[in-house]
Structure 1
Amino acid sequence: MTRKIVLPPKKERHKLFGSIEPGLKLKPTEKAQMPDLQNTKRDFLFSIDAVGISNVKYPIIIESDLNPKQQTTIASFKMTSKISHDSKGTNMSRFTEQLEIYRQNGGFILTIKNLFDFTKELAERLKQQDASIEVTFPWFYERKGPSSELIGLNHADAKISVSYVDGVGFTSSASLTCGVTTLCPCSKEISEYSAHNQRGFVTMNVEFTEDYHENKDWKVALLEAAETNASAMIHPVLKRPDEKMVTETAYENPRFVEDMVRLVAADLYELDFIQAFTVECRNEESIHLHDAIASLSFRK
């Protein structure tokens, strides 16, 4: 038989589980009268390279040269600034205040130009000489089946980083990780028929030139560098005629991870708005327990 419970009033229930009456309040309630520990000026021994907040989830608007041309997604923000040895700390609330100003002013449209403005304004709000921001987000793009032309959405993991230093200016960089298909050249060479293939992940970290003004969508350029050098592309929707074409394309274009990073590097080398890059490829091997990896870096 179920026991009948007689519930006390909610306030009494709270007391039952440890709540107590508010104590005597003696400290100031007005901001102007409250001590500001973070702005304390003394010799605190060391300067700090970066202090701020990370893992801040916020809605953003992404513009793309591929469909969908404009998309709303959730980004993860990291925002920091330096502080000198004679400052105790930073004002954490000012970072999120800056984000909210942009959200309320038509939404946070994620362009490098807007990030330049944001970091400069953030440095001024913090009363510091510098500020940095890092935004990580998923970017979606349409992909058609090669035969059926049925459309679905693929996505890549993207990141933009911008730093500002008063009197020096801005630096900007970006990263894109996307999935591809790779077919093993060795397996193809030694087997009577067939060859093992797997999903590979290509990560490209690039530094932009100072005169890059987003006249070409960096996301699309990096995606093309990875996908056009792979054995085959990844597709969200494939019918049987599509599968035949993708499978045969992969067989015709075998790639080691070493091949991938070199071929992608060649494409990035040809992009005039990139001054330095790192390329990494990681294959989730289909017949080995381990992954295969390769990477290279180059500065023009």
Structure 2
Amino acid sequence: MTIPDVQSSRDKRNMPINRVGVKDLHFPVRIQSADGIQHTTAKLNMAVFLPAELKGTHMSRFVALMEEHDAPLCAAGLRRLTETMLARLDAPAGTIEAAFAFFRKKTAPVSGITSLMDYHVTLACDMDGDTARHSLRVLVPVTSLCPCSKQISQYGAHNQRSHVTVQLDCVEAVEIEEVIDLVEQQASCQLYGLLKRPDEKFVTERAYENPKFVEDMVRDIALSLQSDPRIGRFAVESENFESIHNHSAYARIVSD
């Protein structure tokens, strides 16, 4: 008995579909980091261009591709995976986006105790023919301390945890750790998973000595990104979860 291939049948509406595929596919992956391979779980969006004359794509092939995939994910690896997807689905264009938790071992500034910090990362590759567009998105949690509060207060200054998000269109590969380092260097102070009392004293005083408005952080980060020839278009934003208000402070810069 021959089973009909409905997806490959002809469609008469003369309407191509820019992207069709699977969304929010959760899958275990290996990530290539500066410290070696780490295991995590990715949320994947995978889609291809569908010509007007075809009724549908073969959804199972996206999942089958990930079942077969064994190489660590990085910019070059994601491009190869995208190329394989296009060949498997006989598509001229398509995209793969992988969002995952990225972990980094950090050393406390005084005690030297080590702990893990997690960061939210998204790698993406969008291909059209032989042209590939790579993007990297990293969310980095940091501390910011208000310069105005420090200036006008007799005792202390209010500070808050901030989420800084950097989105890059990469001409050449940029490592995840490089983005994290850049953001943490421009914050009032970086965060740690585990601190002892001497470390708490250090990070509190470090933030106090390095006050930053939300505007300061995005400007300082944008200036560093602007000077990197590996980076094309970029966006940087910061949301400061205010400790003295029931709202956040927010700033965003998008490159020309």
Q: Give yes or no for TM over 0.5.
A: yes
Shift of 1:148: 0.4
Structure 2 stretches lacking a partner, 5+ long: none
The 2-side partners of 1:265 and 1:142 are apart by 26
Query: RMSD of the TM alignment (CA)?
Result: 1.3
- In terms of fraction of residues, the more strand-rich structure is 2
The percentage of aligned residue pairs carrying the same residue is 36
Match of 1:258 in 2: 215
Structure 2 SS opposite 1:286: coil
Q: Which amino acid aligns with 1:218?
A: E
CA contact (8 A) 1:161 1:173 kept: yes
CA contact (8 A) 2:37 2:72 kept: no
The 2-side partners of 1:158 and 1:141 are apart by 12
2:101 corresponds, among 134, 138, 155, to 138
> What whole-Å deviation, never above 9, does each CA across 1:266-289 have from its counterpart, x for those lacking one?
121222211111001001111100
The 2-side partners of 1:236 and 1:292 are apart by 24
Q: How many residues align?
A: 256
The 2-side partners of 1:42 and 1:181 are apart by 55
1:50 and 2:19 aligned: yes
Shift of 1:190: 1.2
TM-score (norm 1): 0.82
TM-score (norm 2): 0.96
> What whole-Å deviation, never above 9, does each CA across 1:104-134 have from its counterpart, x for those lacking one?
xxx2410111111111111111111112100
CA contact (8 A) 2:123 2:137 kept: yes
1:87 corresponds, among 40, 51, 54, to 54
The 2-side partners of 1:231 and 1:255 are apart by 6
1:74 corresponds, among 41, 52, 68, to 41
The 1-side partners of 2:77 and 2:200 are apart by 42
1:180 and 2:142 aligned: yes
2:165 corresponds, among 200, 203, 206, to 203
The 1-side partners of 2:150 and 2:77 are apart by 48
Structure 2 SS opposite 1:109: coil
Which structure has the bigger radius of gyration?
1
1:225 and 2:182 aligned: yes
Match of 1:234 in 2: 191
The 1-side partners of 2:234 and 2:118 are apart by 21
Q: Give runs of aligned pairs for residues 1-300 of structure 1, distance below 5 A.
A: 30=1, 33-66=2-35, 69-102=36-69, 107-166=70-129, 168-209=130-171, 212=172, 214=173, 218-299=175-256
